[in-house]
């Protein structure tokens, strides 16, 4: 038979495991012996005895109390409630509402702590006040809570920000700030009035602290002699109650092996029959004291039983075990009614005798508290302080702004995607003081689609003595990668708006001819070659008509410099046998219509062929200057 082991080492191991599982803390205080003292100003202070306290010299910690507004060194409360508005309505760019910002702390002042010491020493002359009790956060998330119907309503409060964590020591501070709408500021202010018994703003600190609690104090009795004397009676009662044929080592069959659950049943039966008596004066009942009770059951097994298999916990930790029944409610993984994971054989021993154990252990006990107060308790102290409560009309010229608007010319709108990629407008504002303002806006086809023909740039007035004067320059990007002008001049803007007129204008030129006459004279195609200025450069556009396509009239849109009113053109004829025949340049044409007149001497005059010899494919002949255009 396996020799029994002493219970005290087992208990010590269990107790160490329990204490190690408690979050790191320094209790330093006793659960019992607490008292409450009320100061002259009504502040209630709860005192806890220190572990080092003695009857002759009691020592106390005080729990967090006196939640209040923090103050600056000059005594000014760190609280701000500012209502604000502007002359303009919100739809016209104005704003209105309120700002709420404050700092909170807890703890006794030096005067309150001195008063507390005097009151305690009236009954205990040698008592000491060690200071505030050590506390920890009660929870892993926010331990500082703001309770307010106004501040949590998104329709009344635009934003609410807190520092999130409650302070853990006196003097440490926590912050909260809110931006309220106009209605939210009015509603909250209404609750601040003297006629109200409470305001719509409460604050809470969620804290916890540890005290040493006499969790287990008592005596364990094991009546071995009583078990021997009443063995027959106990065996009959056990077999009848549990419908079993064996009890401990008294068995009607040769096999007296037991499962873990059956061994536990017998242990509980022995406790019921007061063979084992556990006389505990428990102050608290939780999983820790339950583990201590389990330690005695393990002692019972180790003393009287030999395990022929692994224990339930050991078997559960095996990687290669059968896991098929883990989720079966009829076969729970540990200590189940049908799941025999370990078998024990009980053996009788004559060496066992009556024994008694006296125990007294203290365990750390976690207690929680919530420190809550309402703003009404402190608002009277700040109500008439202009540093804390104020209203302001935000009409300082420093904060006004100027909007510079640029409107795209309608002709320019039609030119996007055909001739213009985008236009970029640079704006600069030279200030009489401070840094000059510079910004830009780019308008392209997507901008027009999403925003229309108007663009704006805004700058602040600041301390400028001449805020209405600004300058701008515009540069256009053209198809083909050109920009115009390359160095745009700065121009003074107007507050009525600046119209962005592109440097070119669209012109649609129609080209018409007599197809029958062309066929009769053997002309297969006629081209109107047009030269004009675009962004300061001479460019060329060709318009064709052909009897084969049966289109006597065609047209083309050209983009010509806005300050140029005329263009030049010539006709190029393609003849079946004579090849290309080129007519003379026609200058200073302002009409938007060209007719393909076929000269009578087209095939006779050598000048048409000579001019054709000068044609260079892929290049543009510069002729406008020669024509005096």
Percentage of the chain lying above the pLDDT 70 cut: 77
pLDDT of 546 > 60? The answer is yes
Cis peptide before 485 (omega within 30 of 0): yes
Most confident of 423-427, 428-432, 475-479: 423-427
In this prediction, residues 292-311 reach a mean pLDDT of 62
User: Which pLDDT tens digit goes with each residue over 123-176?
Assistant: 999 999 999 999 988 877 778 888 899 999 999 998 888 877 888 899 888 888
Q: Highest-confidence range of 250-259, 509-518, 620-629, by mean pLDDT?
A: 509-518
Do the Cβ atoms of 406 and 426 come closer than 8 Å? no
Cα 330 to Cα 491: distance, rounded to the nearest angstrom: 91
The top-scoring range by mean pLDDT among 24-28, 382-386, 599-603 is: 599-603
- Tell me, yes or no, if the two domains 397-502 and 506-613 fold the same way: yes
Q: Is 383 within 8 Å of 199 (Cβ atoms)?
A: no
Please compute the mean of the pLDDT values over residues 238-261 and round it to a whole number: 75
Q: How would DSSP label each residue in 353-365?
A: --EEEEEEEEEEE
Rounded Cα distance between 239 and 224, Å, is 20
Helix, strand, coil percentages, rounded to 5, for the chain: 20, 35, 40
Asked if 307 and 236 touch (Cβ cutoff 8 Å), the reply is no
Residue bearing the bigger pLDDT, 125 or 300: 125
HSE of 452, CA atoms in CB hemisphere, 13 A: 6
pLDDT of 303 reads: 64
Instruction: Name the β-bridge partners of 481.
Output: none
| String of DSSP letters for 49-93 | EBTT--SSS-EEEE-S---EE-B-TTS-BSEEEEEEE-SS-GGGT
Asked if pLDDT for residue 351 goes beyond 90, the answer is no
Question: How many residues does this entry show for the chain?
Answer: 629
Return the top range by mean pLDDT from 20-24, 181-185, 189-193, 524-528. Answer: 524-528
Identity of the highest mean pLDDT range in 379-393, 462-476, 572-586: 572-586
* H or E, element range at 122: helix 110-123
pLDDT per position as a tens digit, 476-518: 888 777 788 889 999 988 766 788 888 888 889 999 999 999 9
Where b means 16+ CB within 10 Å and e means fewer, 2-30 reads eebeebeebbeebbeebeeeeeeeebbbb
pLDDT of 256 strictly over 90:
no
The CA distance from 299 to 9, in Å, is 10
Task: With H, G, I as helix, E, B as strand and everything else as coil, classify residue 176.
Answer: strand
Taking domain 397-502, whether its CATH number is 2.60.40 is answered by yes
Q: 3-class DSSP state for residue 144?
A: strand
Rounded to whole angstroms, the Cα distance separating 32 from 55 reads 13
Q: Which of 360-369, 435-444, 517-526 has the highest mean pLDDT?
A: 517-526
pLDDT at 125: 92
Share of the chain above pLDDT 90, in %: 24
Distance CA 92, CA 81 (A): 25
What pLDDT does 379 receive?
A: 83
Please return the burial class of 47, using the count of CB atoms within 10 Å of its CB with bins 0-12, 13-18 and 19+: buried
Q: How far apart are CA 218 and CA 178, in angstroms?
A: 56
Annotate 195-244 with DSSP letters as a single string: T-SS-S-EEEEEEEEEEEEEEEEEEEEE-HHHHHHTHHHHHHHHHHHHT-
Q: What is the pLDDT of residue 1?
A: 34
Q: What pLDDT is recorded for position 226?
A: 87
What mean pLDDT is reported for the chain? Answer: 80
Q: Where are the domains of the chain?
A: 224-309+335-353, 397-502, 506-613
Q: Give 378 or 112, the one with higher predicted confidence.
A: 112
Mean pLDDT, range 282-302, rounded to an integer: 63
Give the pLDDT score at 6: 41
pLDDT-based confidence at residue 3 (cuts at 50, 70, 90): very low
- Single pTM value for the model: 0.48
Query: Looking at 194-208, 461-475, 550-564, 597-611, which range is the least confident one?
Result: 461-475
Strand partners of residue 160? 178
Q: How confident is the model at residue 20 (pLDDT cuts 50, 70, 90)?
A: very low
CB 87 within 8 A of CB 395: yes
**CATH match for 506-613 among 2.30.29, 2.60.40, 1.10.1060, 1.10.10:** 2.60.40
What DSSP string describes 336-389? -SS----EEEE---SS---EEEEEEEEEEEEEEEEEEEETHHHHTTTTT-TTTE
């Amino acid at each position: 038979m396996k020799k029994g082991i002493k219970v005290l080492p087992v208990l010590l191991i269990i107790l160490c495991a329990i204490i190690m599982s408690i979050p790191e803390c320094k209790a330093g205080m006793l659960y019992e012996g607490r008292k409450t003292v009320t100061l002259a100003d009504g502040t209630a202070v709860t005192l806890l005895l220190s572990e080092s306290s003695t009857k002759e010299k009691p020592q106390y910690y005080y729990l967090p109390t006196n939640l209040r507004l923090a103050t600056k060194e000059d005594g000014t409360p760190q609280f701000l409630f500012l209502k604000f508005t502007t002359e303009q309505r919100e739809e016209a760019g104005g704003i209105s509402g309120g700002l709420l910002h404050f700092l909170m702390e807890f703890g006794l002042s030096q005067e309150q702590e001195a008063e507390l010491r005097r009151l305690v020493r009236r009954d205990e002359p040698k008592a000491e006040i060690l200071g505030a009790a050590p506390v920890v956060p009660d929870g892993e998330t926010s331990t500082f809570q703001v309770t307010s119907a106004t501040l949590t309503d998104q329709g009344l409060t635009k934003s609410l920000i807190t520092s999130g964590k409650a302070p853990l020591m006196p003097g440490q501070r926590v912050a909260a700030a809110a931006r309220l709408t106009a209605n939210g500021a009015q509603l909250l202010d209404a609750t601040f009035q003297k006629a109200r018994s409470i305001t719509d703003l409460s604050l809470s600190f969620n804290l916890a602290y540890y005290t040493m609690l006499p969790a287990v104090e008592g005596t364990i009795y094991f009546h071995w002699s009583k078990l021997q004397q009443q063995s027959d009676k106990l065996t009959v009662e056990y077999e009848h109650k549990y419908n079993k044929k064996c009890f401990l080592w008294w068995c009607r069959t040769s096999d007296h092996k037991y499962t873990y659950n059956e061994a536990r049943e017998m242990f509980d039966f022995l406790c019921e029959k007061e063979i084992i008596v556990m006389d505990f004066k428990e102050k608290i009942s939780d999983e820790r004291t339950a583990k201590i009770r389990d330690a005695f059951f393990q002692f019972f097994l180790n003393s009287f039983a030999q395990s022929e298999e692994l224990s339930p916990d050991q078997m559960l930790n095996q990687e290669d075990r059968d896991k098929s029944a883990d989720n079966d409610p009829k076969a729970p993984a540990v200590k189940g009614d049908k799941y025999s994971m370990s078998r024990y054989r009980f053996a009788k021993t004559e060496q066992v005798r009556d024994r008694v154990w006296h125990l007294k252990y203290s365990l750390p006990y976690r207690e929680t508290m919530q420190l809550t107060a309402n703003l009404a308790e402190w608002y009277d102290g700040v109500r008439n302080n202009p540093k804390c409560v104020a209203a302001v009309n935000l009409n300082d010229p420093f904060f006004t702004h100027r909007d510079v608007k640029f409107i795209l010319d309608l002709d320019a709108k039609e030119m996007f995607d055909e001739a213009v990629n985008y236009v970029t407008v640079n704006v600069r504002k030279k200030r009489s003081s401070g840094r000059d303002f510079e910004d830009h806006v780019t308008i392209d086809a997507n901008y027009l689609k999403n925003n229309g023909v108007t663009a704006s740039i805004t700058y602040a007035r600041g301390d400028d003595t001449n805020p209405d004067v600004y300058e701008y320059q515009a540069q256009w990007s053209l198809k083909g990668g050109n920009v115009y002008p390359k160095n745009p001049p700065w121009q003074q803007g107007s507050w009525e708006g600046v119209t962005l007129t592109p440097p070119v204008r669209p012109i649609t030129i129609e080209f018409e001819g007599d197809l029958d006459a062309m066929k009769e004279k053997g002309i297969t195609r006629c081209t109107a070659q047009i030269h004009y200025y675009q962004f300061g450069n001479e460019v060329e556009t060709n318009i064709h008509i052909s009897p084969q396509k049966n289109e006597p009239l065609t047209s083309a849109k050209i983009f010509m410099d806005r300050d140029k009113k005329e263009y030049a053109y010539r006709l190029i004829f393609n003849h079946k046998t004579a090849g290309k025949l080129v007519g003379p340049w026609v200058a200073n044409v302002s009409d938007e219509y060209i007719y393909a007149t076929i000269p009578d001497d087209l095939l006779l005059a050598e000048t048409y062929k000579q001019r054709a010899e000068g044609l260079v494919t892929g290049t543009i002949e510069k002729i406008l200057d020669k024509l005096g255009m």
